[in-house]
Amino acid sequence: MKNQTAPNLSPSFSAKVWQNLIGGKWTGSTGDERIPLLDPATEDSLGSIPKGTTEDADRAVASAREAFEAGAWRRMGVRERSRVLRRVGEILLRRCEEIATAETLDQGRSLRQSRGMMLPLAAGAWEFFAGCLLNFHGRAASPEPWASAYTINQPLGVVACITPGNVPLVLGSEKLAPALAVGNSVVLKPPPECPISSVLLVECLLEAGIPEGVVNLVHGDGEPVGRRLAEHPDVDMVAFTGSTETGKAIMRLGAGNVKRLLLELGGKAPQVVFPDADVDAAVKGALWGVYLNSGQICMASTRLLLHESIYDEFVEKFVRRTRDLRVGPGIEPDTNVGPMVTIRARDKVEACIARAVEEGATVLCGGDRPRGDRYARGFWVEPTVLAADSPGITATRQEIFGPVPVVQRFAHMAEAIRMANDTEYGLAGSVWTNDLNTAMTMAEEVRAGYVWINDHLIRATGFPFGGWKQSGFGREAAAQTLDEYCNVKTVYIDRTGLAEKPRYGLL
């Protein structure tokens, strides 16, 4: 994509009244309240969204159910459904500058990241699942000489997709694309703090030819909108990315009708650096893994586990490079680290830093808000590095979800394995070494759903992503993801034509 100057959309957003989409129509809420949207770098207005109600969620689910039962989408030929999905990706790329700028203004990350990473990932999800759909089929066999059997993959019905405020466009696409590919209807609840790119995504879906009612969007907070979707008896599945605490609540709420769930929850990824590693490469990988999206990434390498022999060298280089990062509004071309997405997110990060210091951690750099008039407004946290040499520091296990890694040292591989796995999470981790045996051993021993060797925060196209332990379950971004959104039916056919089967005599 061309690295061109982004359009200035902020003034056009300032008075924008964003709406829900229900039954193919943009509409307001049954309630009168609205949620203001703020640019996290300036606190300027980006318009407002309806503060959704239980009734709004019910209307959206009813619309999705009606569209599903009508069958225009689920009965559409596979090739035509695939073409619609592919068109969504094409429209996203055509509107790249507009949507990338919108998500940067709304979420805060640098425009380079929105344009160069998030838009291609989102568009790629639609293209990928459009292709997977063409090869998604059941199996057939003759289990006995006198019988045949085959399986059918059938859509679940209504899927609620609930997305967080860190990468809403990508995560929305990675849920909606497979859910729609297999014929479901959906209700999307985007993050109330930064929903604009999700609205633009739904516009792309409508332009691509999704029938009315198949895709619905309801704005609002987790309480009551998210709660209602999770407990609604007519929602067949919830696909959720967010905190482990909220994921547990969704599990409890979804038990009423034994909902299918796909949960991608918290993480505390270790980056383990062995003495034979290329230290400069590991430092660059850590800068990327820690500070991308201001650390608001569930797979961020927020635990830097360093062999004692290279600890000082790594820390000196990493801290120096961290101090050189430019903090500023994402819309500015030379920004490396933007603001936190909300004031609540900023306050949480600051509280985590303060607690870590109280428990014995050392602040090696950062640890405060950046100084200067340009930071007087907005939700800023300096890129920070903590050192934790004493046991029991909460920050070594807690998901901070901000630009705050913790460096720790280890003496040997067994200790590195113990430290890497010393967390309730199991989403991702990375190992930095030039020794094949070390790499393979660590890849097997780290209890996480995704492990990189000499890299961090990169997706292998088509390979499944998801967590172990309290990082959730289910797999996204792979061909097998289609199975998550389907029921499988087995059909058995007797070919004998006999009224009396030999086994009947056993009764």
Where in the sequence numbering do the catalytic residues fall? Answer: 264
* Cα–Cα distance measured from residue 340 to residue 381, given in angstroms and rounded to the nearest whole number: 7
Beta-carbon neighbour count of residue 358 at 10 Å?
Answer: 10
Report DSSP state, residue 11: H
Closest CA to 389 of 368, 367, 411, 417: 411
Which helix (H) or strand (E) segment is 216 a member of? strand 215-217
Which helix (H) or strand (E) segment is 102 a member of? helix 96-107
Closest CA to 9 of 208, 175, 199, 151: 199
Mode of pairing for the β-strands spanning 425-426 and 237-241: unpaired
Residue 293's beta-bridge partner residues? none
Query: Which residue's structure tokens are 């909606």?
Result: 176
Spatial CB neighbours of 5, under 8 Å, sequence gap ≥ 6: none
Instruction: Please answer whether residues 164 and 247 qualify as being in contact, where contact means their C-beta atoms are separated by less than 8 angstroms.
Output: no
Phi-psi region of 212 (alpha: psi -120 to 50; beta: other; left: phi over 0): beta
3-state DSSP assignment of residue 92: helix
504 to each of 143, 146, 499, how far by Cα in Å?
Answer: 19, 15, 10
What tokens appear for 459 in the block? Answer: 């997706």
Mode of pairing for the β-strands spanning 140-144 and 147-155: antiparallel
Spatial CB neighbours of 285, under 8 Å, sequence gap ≥ 6: 271, 301, 430, 432, 454, 455, 456
Spatial CB neighbours of 379, under 8 Å, sequence gap ≥ 6: 40, 108, 339, 340, 341, 342, 343, 345, 346
* Cα–Cα distance measured from residue 55 to residue 68, given in angstroms and rounded to the nearest whole number: 20
What tokens appear for 102 in the block? Answer: 């919108």
What are the start-end ranges of the E strands in 301-439? Answer: 303-307, 362-365, 385-387, 406-410, 425-426, 428-432
Closest CA to 27 of 5, 59, 1: 59
